[in-house]
Structure 1
Amino acid sequence: MTHDIAGVRAQFPALKAGWAHFDGPGGSQTPQPVIDAVAEALAGPLSNRGLTTVGERNAEDCVVAAREAMADLLGAEPSGVVFGRSATQLTYDFSRTLARTWAAGDEVVVTRLDHDSNIRPWVQAAEAVGAVVRWADFDPATGELTARHIADQLSDHTRLVAVTAASNLIGSRPDLPAIAALVHERGALLHVDGVHYTAHAPVDLAALGADFFACSPYKFLGPHLGVVASRPDLLETLRPHKLLPSSDAVPERFELGTLPYELLAGTRAAVDFLAGMDPRARGTRRERLLTSFGSLERHEDALRRRIEEELSRLPEITVHSRAAERTPTLLLTIEGRSTVDAYRHLAERAVAAPSGAFYALEASRRLGLGDTGGLRVGLAPYNDEEDVDRFLEALADFLRTAP
């Protein structure tokens, strides 16, 4: 099977501006079918959800279709898909809800590899009830966070472990099934930040062992909102604070206020777009997604290897993305040079590769980069060989300039 890069790129109006985008980890560009779906939802009659008027039915259809699409994308059940403003907001909501079941002396494990949105909500929720926070490290030399790193922090008092499926800073992909087995042996729950991971690899909630899996459609070609997928039976055991008249059904009890129906329409369209990236994919939407992601992984990995090979010839460059399993995301530092200056130099040549720690402060500090981080080069489904050429040429040009 083949990733149809020409067909994919033709669907992105933003690419007409002429930029080479390596800023996908911070938010991807949007294909025309997603834009159209959002506009069509807003253009038609639209009301609060219901089954009587056309506006009510349109809103209901947006919600149902989006839940089904996200369930196909994540290998979940539609009734286990929760929508919210962002993955950060949902993580805060779930952390507060779960903390109501904790007591002083219970333990929560977070990792130094994670984005702060999968650290601070749990730290703050634990502190509010007197629970203990334990920190799992990772190896800064390799970028690896292993099951052993998690196991060292587990005890009979562990109630929840929060871990990333893929680092948004250096791309490392921990062995989630191995981690999940250890966590569940202790009777604890596993909350997985899949925001970066979902854009690059197929997700199967049960196979990964995630009790909660958070992601953000705007990282995989969709609109700005957040999603948490879980087992419906697990969601039934949780009692979030909510308005009295609002639905107590799962998953609605976790969705506070009116949902953004037009963004849900765009989310469904984004999943359909992902399922069609390999034009030879056949079968159900889930089957087509698995085929298309297989083709996408091969495409992105080939581009990543080419970039890494060229960077290895530049002695001034240090690549901090070294894990054996990782996404096509590279973090670079440049000896004697500011990566902010490199970022600006690239931008002047219409190459978007930003500099920073990207909310992964603990990881950046553990790598010895403080809060500054480095230059992040992230691939997305629309990147091609010409983009790579432009990035490498612009970076080489920066290295030739005087400090």
Structure 2
Amino acid sequence: MPYDVSAVRAAYPALADGYAYLDGAAGTQVPETVIEAIAGAYRRGIGNVGGTFPASHRSDGIVAECRAAVADLAGGHPDGVILGPNMTTLTYRLAYALSRGWRAGDEVVLSRLDHDANVRPWVQVAERTGAGVRWAEVDLATGELGVAQYDTLIGPRTRLVAVTAASNVLGTRPDVPAITARARAAGAVSYVDGVHASAHGPTDAAALGADFYATSAYKWSGPHVGAVVADPDRLAGLLPDKLASASDEVPGRFETGTSPFADFAGVVAAVDHLAGLDPTATGTRRQRLLTSLAAAEAYELELFAVLLDGLAAMPWVTLYGKPARRTATAYFTVAGRSPREVSGHLAGRRVNVWDGHNYAWEVTAALGIRSAGSAVRAGLVHYNDRADVDRLLAGVAELADRSPADRAPEHRGRPAPGDAG
């Protein structure tokens, strides 16, 4: 049956405010089931884990359910799911643990395509350990991250290869399995940033060859919770910094402080929601996720073709990147208008988009646009519809005829970065 976007949208209370939410690449809205799951956890009563009383037992169960849900989403094992406040924090935590044995002369291979959360932690631990940094470059005309360059970048001293599963600004989906295969052949660890990719199609961390796969629930209709999925046996060999009194168990020893247990209940509800996007999907939750997210991806890309064709038909619009495989994410500028002016104009038309570098620090510098405010990002997710796209295109079309005197002064200013990872 056709993808029923009207039924999907009905599950999201925030969408009733009349805005076109095309800011999903920086964080999605949440369905009623997620809101109720979080509120329900508080209503029933929760305590810290490891106690002898019912409220503590409920938290124990929520944590276990959250690990199982994320494992189903990513294609991992619950015992290998590390939970935390966000991907950036967890990546810093793992960077310290993974780099303990690095020495001067070791190397890490990073990509200019990546969100800075999969760049800066590795750059900084490399500086501390004396390891070198090698860069995979982006084809600026297409937005592609060529695989062949990794043949010379990866060598016997490579300790880690970090790469994104999808660019959060250009939408590019690199050939991650080919890159991680080269890393594995050299004995290096692969750290894959799946924050943007997880929201836009089925995920199989093992098929990607990811030794570590990072994701964030707020990008796929959940609360602000991050996760990293890895083989439990690999985690057992890592010793993170932690309190002496904290658990030595895996994966708990990577999780510092008291966790947001009610939010974890929201993560479970978000995964269940995604599994039901295609009401005809059957089987285990993992199987239903694969079916539903494939249907959502096909729908997004069909709608995105309308958005992309509409922007490409406007001579005053410059689009960045035209990768062969991509998410439904457009990054563009409008002639004579700053990105902040464009996003402000669209906000006045009740269209939510982001402007700025969106933490794609390296690629916006390589494109030569970062110092001028970078660009405007409009991204589709599974609840956007044709009306959202039409409103965006109409708003951008208006900018062809507006003179500088018509620009709304309240929208000038320093671009907000958005998309913190």
TM-score (norm 2): 0.94
Equivalent residue number for residue 381 of structure 1: 382
Distance 2:58 2:401 in 1: 57
Equivalent residue number for residue 84 of structure 1: 84
Equivalent residue number for residue 48 of structure 1: 48
Distance 1:76 1:10 in 2: 31
Equivalent residue number for residue 188 of structure 1: 188
Superposed, which structure 2 residues align to 1:3-402 within 5 Å? 3-50=3-50, 52-371=52-371, 372-402=373-403
AA paired with 2:325? E
Distance 2:51 2:64 in 1: 12
TM-score (norm 1): 0.98
Q: What percentage of residue pairs aligned between the two structures are identical?
A: 48
Q: CA deviation at 1:399?
A: 2.1
Q: CA deviation at 1:52?
A: 2.7
AA paired with 1:71? A
String of CA shifts for 1:337-392, please: whole Å, max 9, x gaps.
Answer: 21211110100010011211101110101112124210101001110011111111
On the 8 A contact 1:138/1:149 being kept in 2, the answer is: no
Alignment partner of 1:37: what SS?
helix
Distance 1:386 1:110 in 2: 39
Distance 1:112 1:281 in 2: 38
String of CA shifts for 1:139-196, please: whole Å, max 9, x gaps.
Answer: 0011000211323311110000111110101110100110011010100000011100
String of CA shifts for 1:106-158, please: whole Å, max 9, x gaps.
Answer: 10111111111110000000111111111111100110002113233111100
AA paired with 1:164? T
Distance 2:48 2:391 in 1: 47
AA paired with 1:398? L
Distance 2:335 2:394 in 1: 18
On the 8 A contact 1:321/1:329 being kept in 2, the answer is: no
Over the aligned positions, Cα root-mean-square deviation in angstroms equals 1.0
On the 8 A contact 2:161/2:180 being kept in 1, the answer is: no
Q: CA deviation at 1:2?
A: 3.4
On the 8 A contact 1:13/1:31 being kept in 2, the answer is: yes
String of CA shifts for 1:52-107, please: whole Å, max 9, x gaps.
Answer: 31101110111011011001000000000000111000000000111112111110
Distance 2:385 2:321 in 1: 21
Q: Which runs of 4+ in 1 moved over 2 A?
A: 1-4, 149-152
- Could you tell me which runs of 5 or more consecutive residues in structure 2 were left unpaired when the two chains were aligned: 405-421
Distance 2:287 2:2 in 1: 15
Q: CA deviation at 1:245?
A: 1.8
On the 8 A contact 1:2/1:278 being kept in 2, the answer is: no
On the 8 A contact 2:119/2:162 being kept in 1, the answer is: yes
Distance 1:373 1:275 in 2: 35
Distance 2:118 2:296 in 1: 27
Sort the Cα spacing of 1:230 and 1:2 in 2 relative to 1 into closer, same or farther, 3 A: farther
Q: CA deviation at 1:308?
A: 1.2
Higher mean C-alpha deviation, range 43-52 or range 27-36: 43-52
Equivalent residue number for residue 413 of structure 2: none
Sort the Cα spacing of 1:227 and 1:340 in 2 relative to 1 into closer, same or farther, 3 A: same
- Could you tell me which runs of 5 or more consecutive residues in structure 1 were left unpaired when the two chains were aligned: none
Q: CA deviation at 1:321?
A: 2.8
Higher mean C-alpha deviation, range 143-152 or range 104-113: 143-152
Alignment partner of 1:227: what SS?
strand
Q: CA deviation at 1:400?
A: 2.0
On the 8 A contact 1:4/1:279 being kept in 2, the answer is: no
Q: CA deviation at 1:51?
A: 6.0
Distance 1:271 1:199 in 2: 11
